[in-house]
Structure 1
Amino acid sequence: MAKKSAFQRPYKSRSERREIDRRKHDEAKDYKFLIRVAIAIGLVLVVALGFAITGVVDNSGNLAQSTMSR
């Protein structure tokens, strides 16, 4: 007679295993998508801040030149 192990994994049908694998795969894809979106938003913010800073620097330079010419 074969000895039974103390712990037996619960039986899962093939469809149940496939569903679990599908869910894990979908969650991984969602996570990767969110990371990509966060990176894209970060890049857009960096570019926008860069343009804003250059605009402020240009305006302050123009103001300094206009006050000196008066």
Structure 2
Amino acid sequence: MIDSRKEIDIVELPLNVMDMSLFQHDMRLDLDGAWRIVKEMINLVHQCGGVFVVNWHNSWLEQGSDERWIY
């Protein structure tokens, strides 16, 4: 049980980037702008030996949008 105050063996991975934030909700970037930011983030995480976590909604594939190339 989580509320037992005992240590559990899990790894929490923080989210680095989400498609909806790049293209719709927060930033409203075009493909080039989004790629520049994501590429820079990937490089920084790589330099630190980290793990880059992406939340990409499969609905982008269904929409026929230009953003599908990122997949």
TM-score, with structure 2 as normaliser: 0.31
Structure with greater proportional strand content: 2
Which structure has the larger Rg? 1
TM-score, with structure 1 as normaliser: 0.31
Structure with greater proportional helix content: 1
